[in-house]
Structure 1
Amino acid sequence: MGPDLLKLLLTPALIVAATLLQRRWATLFGGRLVGLPLTAASSLTLLTLREGETFAVQTAIATLSGQLAIAAFCLGYARTALAHRWPIALAIAVCCYGIAALILSRHDFSLPALEFLVPTGLAATLAAWPALTPREVLPMQWELPARMVVATAMTTLVLASATMLGSKTIGLVASFPLFAALFAAHEHYGAGGPAAIISLRSVVVGAFTSSVFFLTIASTLPYWGALGAFPLAVAATVFAHIAVNLFTYGSKSRDSCIGRMNERQLASSA
């Protein structure tokens, strides 16, 4: 299979496979499998093949730090969505991401430092999150094809600009939660701010498992090579995904450790 064909097929194939697994074993996996870092995994795999393991390790470290920028985006949107409509919330969230990414790009964090900073930052984000009663956010009818198109476009952009931008910048660019932004704006417009806030909280929770993937790649790729590092990273990420979702949401919605406030209470307190 040629590299161009692999680039076009790998990302959408992962998304379709994850969606089918979610429909078959939703209870086992404790959360939506599309919350896994599917786009980043395919991008990093292709970058390893094209740019080499050293470049891929540096990109993985940058993308690991980018989880903090994702948290800034989500929290910025969530806090703004309490009182404003989606265009303002989205603009504020993008600004939050940009500021966080700029700060991260100016510092060379070591991997041990990120092992502390990333989970601490994500936990702080959840602690500052607006409290809502957990409920299911229904997927859009066009969610699967939209995810495939957006993910393929992001992968193509990352591969096309990787050499020009460098590993650190491309890692932060690849971290931008494009589909999450589109989904949140759609939910905000159609169902109100609380629906967008709930959907973005799942993005922050998913950042914990994404962090496991990038951390595993950065730690093991130089020693085990791609054939050893990527399967291990996938296995570690799936187990982390199950554990994080069970801890955060519980086996049933009533078991969740999320703080509760219904939407009427939220509206009255905004």
Structure 2
Amino acid sequence: MTLFQIALLAAAGFAASTINALAGGGTFVTFAALVASGLPTLDANATSAVALTPANLASVAAYRSEVRLHYREMIPFAILGLLGGVGGALLLIWIGDGGFRPLVPWLLLVATVMFALGDRIRKIVEPWSKGQHTVAKLVAYGVMAVVSIYGGFFGAGVGIMMLAALSIVTSDDYHKSNATKIVVAFLIQVVSSALLIAGGLVHWPQALVTIAASILGGYFGVSVARRIPAKIIRAAVVTIGAVLTVIFFIRT
């Protein structure tokens, strides 16, 4: 790697884990940086997933108060995350780079739209969260199961969908929802990363640079989440996602 690539990946890792601690979407940044550094799309996706896993652990540690207080309620979502992460990673390995590359612009488009409509999605599910209906809860668990598989496969946009589903069962407690999201995302990445490493898709020099920077961002990001409105970060993520979507549609 050149010094420029090292600096690019370090900046991307720090920014991505900070964004993930707030609302999700950091995968946009690391995926783009890894592709820009010369990795194939499949390898960039796998390396990004592995690189951001320690940062999610740092964010879990920063949210330790919420985790201790609500850990029993997090268990069902944690199980869904583990199972979904395995399923998504196995699917990714199975289709290979030839199958993954044509999907990239569409995955980026879906993830970008999710972020752009994040506030509207939460408004739609808000009446359900107040009623705490059994059907609403089943829908929340179903969405979390699907999102967990998607998280093991690609991951960009997974945070906003998790927050929307979790808002149904956690009412207006944003930090409870965000802590649960971070725990589940961490578990998804742990199991999917293990499979991606076993599949030989991870480029370790690039991963280690990103990991070192992302750990700092993962812990720092929670303090950002407590003070800065999510709209500011979300606008930046949507912009990045839109630009990447156009670029990959042109390249594909």
| TM-score normalised to structure 2 length | 0.34
- Structure with the bigger percentage of helix: 2
| TM-score normalised to structure 1 length | 0.32
Higher RCO structure (Cα 8 Å, ≥6 apart) = 2
